[in-house]
Structure 1
């Protein structure tokens, strides 16, 4: 997400997207639990600048409320994915969770 593009410059929108998706579900469905749950962090634990952030639990109701507060309840997000092999399962898991949180999303 590029924060210079609307609506992603709004912290509420970015928080809503994070709250909408359970990374453990994405790991399970997309990767068969091979690996560790993502932290929505730009660096991995092996990186010298890594700092562990507090875990954020999935909260679809709060995600929906934040999108409404940001005035973006009707905005349709574009989820660009590769639909081959495990990539499709990963994209499906993300899109389904976003929709479950009331967030509009189209796959491309």
Structure 2
């Protein structure tokens, strides 16, 4: 699946599907590190039974999810979930733009 297809799929996914998706990503990342569930849970500070529930069923508390993210060194990506919204510059009305042009014109003539 391409990143675009994956993104489109996630937009339409149910909460249950999103939980399963995140659980699979956590499992895959743990396996890439060649850690057992026991090792990873201990390193993350999560009870093994709680971690297994998170990884297998996508169920758990937000705190458990964040501990897993931290153990995977992924917390720095959380800012991507809520990017800083830059205020949009106010668009000047036609009258305001004309007035600004008049001011610049009169200043350049002086």
TM-score normalised by L of structure 1: 0.26
TM-score normalised by L of structure 2: 0.26
Structure with the greater relative contact order (CA < 8 A, sep ≥ 6): 1 or 2?
Answer: 1
Which structure's residues are more often helix, by fraction? 2
